[in-house]
Structure 1
């Protein structure tokens, strides 16, 4: 007959685990009280070993057949090992033993949520809300479900309730910022975080989210103040340094931004995005060697970061090394084929290398991807004009104006082309439109065709609008 030892709640968890492992080694049968079993199961869960934890659950259920807690633990473990139907079965058995345990409904809600059966998930979370003492995590889950259903207004309601329960729920703070983002409601976001900070002035997450909301409203000075408070409360908060750097870039304070970006390295491993951001600051300061060095560090860490490859190209372009620049622009383009900025840079470099046909094709791509890029339309038509393809240049301008009816520079350029083609009546019509759109920009016309400064008809029309 096997000897049975009993181990109770007096020992520490480590002792329970050692005793349990000894029992398995000896193929023996020791008795553990429920709390000891819970400790052993939690130990294996923390070690990320669900199969071992499930094995302990079996022993626990044999020794404590009426304890719902082990069926609940079992369901949890079955869920993480993707055995949903077994998990549901375990929860049904647990509910028969102890129907008022909120964990039953939380786990069942999690299961339905993972299966995208959202209304059933919400039903279970509602039940859990009525039974649980701490409800902030349940409310957070309900917010997630509403987000998944695309009901962001509703998600905001639950996130606010969650934060009323637990002001320090960081996930809820970040999710709330995300929902306001999707709803494009930064004003309300600012209002919420300011109120929140009145109650919780030391919440670094609230200051950080307030900074992000200000950034999205283009209030960069205020954003920097908010990030500074977040950093003051938690000086190792790398994301706050990074976003402060971005705000400084928006204020064109590039040297300060570099310093702030570098501070992130004290608290987290350098990463490709930060190297790329520093490279861009040096590029704006026209310190191209430093810029290139940081862009190279960036692609070394992440060869798929298109912006860094592009940045290397920009530094070479600046040094009039167009052939080399083109190589890097194309590497960036391979990673992001629909990036209009990359196509624009390629078009410009091809043109400077005298590859007119390639430049034309690239400009065509730019205006197709970004039809509101006025400069691209002007450059594209300019190439055609230089090749004396006047009709094509005028056609391109017609398309450009259709897409940008308020851009006066397009009308003035159109006037120049129409004059060059000898289509004087239409040219004068377009000139009236140009002047009506923006009379101050009439110098564009003379930049292109200086001889028109001597044309009395044109001077008279212009003076009517510029008096």
Structure 2
């Protein structure tokens, strides 16, 4: 029976691994060793690859390809000096071997010398009959340098040589997106599609560009062409669903999202979008069902928990909203979006201490919105925690100097703490910033507002403003 290529490889692997177990020494030709090493490297079995290289070079000490595999392993292990020395020896023997230059470039790249890596790769192009991969490697080096124009050009050169290198096409689009060149991206994709009219990836990318430009009808047409080119292209159905949502065609959007569930394992994103569409259609039970499927499919997807929580907030069912946001926080205690909702819901339920804790946690996690500082302050005032409220606002003022909402509150707080000097100072600051906002004191500190001295200062500012 004649062995296929895969059968031959499997046979060689079996013999090699049997040899390692028995300590017998069997002969393999250099091509067999190359296939064995390649298999081990592809599958991350570095230790076995090293053994195969060592035995291979014992049996074929002059094999350049086996020595290049040794270089690849040395580079992987960060033994760059040894790898470089071996490459220099090989270059003296085979100056036209492109793989030598590619490995040299990788060493330069690992040393963060990306410009030299590019120079060496350009030398590789001169000796390579098929330079597509090398152009792609040059593109990656330019990305390391954040030179997106040259990176884009290099990936385009790769596509000129190999039109089906979709990773290069994605990289071209990444560069266009980073450079915010949407019109230019569409023009390039149309040229590409002139040569490859049934490339679903290109049609998909055209659609995404039009979507970003809010040209939804054109985006829809592009995604339809992507689906015509490949009717199992999940990404195209997903993006088409998003466009249909923007156009208010929710039933059609649901149909497209459902197709993705049939083509592959269900995704939390598809369930979430279906839920959003049902909610827009007023079909609240179906919306909630799909939101629950979202968090069941992926409990770590915060958008799912937020969708359920916001659903109940809109229904003014704050107890249910609190139940679900507590479940979300139990899964991820570091999610600031959860804590903001936790604070808001507890505030609505008049659980002020819990609400204050939620706002404090939001601030601790880096949510420095003015509203968060202010809401926490107002709750602390209600709880009679004036000193903590002052500390809160003094932190806020570092981020929002010359803010009337902060200054008026500090005025009332310092009066409440019997620190008149600071109170009058902040009152004048507040009035200079915005004299109309004095209503803050009237609402939060009515007794202080009615003081004769306070009213006189406020009236003097209002009369002159």
Same fold (TM over 0.5): yes
Q: Please list every run of 5 or more consecutive structure 2 residues that lacks an aligned counterpart in the other structure.
A: 380-402, 409-433, 444-448, 450-454
Q: Secondary structure at the match of 1:304?
A: coil
How far apart are 1:144 and its partner, in Å? Answer: 1.3
Separation in 1, partners of 2:31, 2:357: 73
Aligned ranges 1:257-276 → 2 under 5 Å: 257-276=253-272
CA distance in structure 1 between the aligned counterparts of 2:294 and 2:52, rounded to whole angstroms:
48
Residues 36 and 285 (structure 1 numbering): CA distance in 2 closer, same or farther, change over 3 Å? same
CA-CA distance at 1:175 after TM superposition: 1.1
Shift of residue 51 of structure 1?
Answer: 2.4
Q: Which is further off, 52-61 or 75-84?
A: 75-84
3-state secondary structure, aligned to 2:112:
coil
**1:189 corresponds to:** 185
- Find out whether 1:179 has 2:144 as its counterpart: no
Q: C-alpha separation between the residues in 2 aligned to 1:246 and 1:428?
A: 55
Q: How does 1:425-436 map to 2 (within 5 A)?
A: none
Mark the CA change 1:70 to 1:313 in structure 2 (over 3 Å): closer, same or farther: same
Q: Post-superposition shift, 1:131?
A: 1.4
Aligned to 2:88: 92
> Partners of 2:464 and 2:269 in 1: how far apart?
50
Question: What displacement does 1:265 show?
Answer: 1.9
Asked if the contact 1:208–1:240 (Cα under 8 Å) also holds between the matched residues in 2, the reply is yes
Partner of 1:446: none
RMSD between superposed Cα atoms in Å: 4.2
Superposed counterparts of 1:18-29, under 5 Å = 18-21=14-17, 23-24=19-20, 27-29=23-25
For 1:292, the equivalent position in structure 2 comes to 288
- Deviation (angstroms), 1:113: 2.4
Residue-by-residue CA offset, 1:42-86 (whole Å, 9 max, x unaligned): 344455433223222222222322221111122223334554444
> What pairs with 1:114-133 in structure 2 (closer than 5 Å)?
114-133=110-129
Structure 2 residue 292 is the aligned partner of structure 1 residue 305: no
Q: How far apart, CA to CA, are the structure 2 residues paired with 1:302 and 1:195?
A: 40
The CA distance in 1 between the partners of 2:94 and 2:122, in whole Å, is 17
Matched, 1:204 2:220: no
Tell me, which stretches of 5 or more residues in structure 1 are unaligned? 1-8, 384-393, 400-410, 431-467
**Aligned-partner SS, 2:303:** helix
Cα deviation for residue 354 of structure 1 reads 5.0
Q: Take 2:160 and 2:41, find their aligned partners in 1: how far apart are those partners? A: 30
Q: 1:342 to 1:196 in 2, by over 3 A?
A: farther
Normalised to the residue count of structure 2, the TM-score between the two structures is 0.71
Q: Distance in 2 between matches of 1:414 and 1:397?
A: 11
In 1, the alpha carbon distance for the partners of 2:301 and 2:19 equals 54
Change (3 A) 1:248 1:111: farther
Counterpart Cα distance in 2 of 1:357 and 1:25 = 67
Higher mean C-alpha deviation, range 39-48 or range 213-222: 39-48
Work out whether residues 244 and 260 of structure 1, in 8 Å CA contact, stay in contact via their aligned partners in 2: yes
1:144 to 140, 145, 151: 140
| Matching residue within 30, 33, 51 for 2:29 | 33
Compare 12-21 and 301-310 and name the one that shifted more. 12-21
Deviations 1:316-350 (A, max 9, x none): 223321122134346667667554x984x667645
Alpha-carbon offset, residue 158 of structure 1: 0.9
Which residue, out of 100, 106, 113, partners 2:102? 106
Q: Give the Cα–Cα distance (whole angstroms) in 2 for the partners of residues 22 and 357 of structure 1.
A: 69
Q: 1:72 to 1:328 in 2, by over 3 A?
A: same
Of the candidates 261, 280, 283, which is equivalent to residue 279 of structure 2? 283
In 2 relative to 1, CA 150–261 (structure 1 residues): closer, same or farther, beyond 3 Å?
same
Residues in 2 aligned to 1:17 and 1:34: alpha-carbon distance in whole angstroms: 13
Aligned-pair distance for 1:274? 2.1
Secondary structure of the residue aligned to 1:201 is coil
Aligned to 2:154: 158
Write the mapping of 1:318-333 to structure 2, written as runs, cut at 5 A.
318-329=314-325
User: Structure 2 CA distance, aligned partners of 1:189 and 1:167?
Assistant: 16
How many corresponding residue pairs? 397
- Deviation for aligned residue 1:112: 3.0
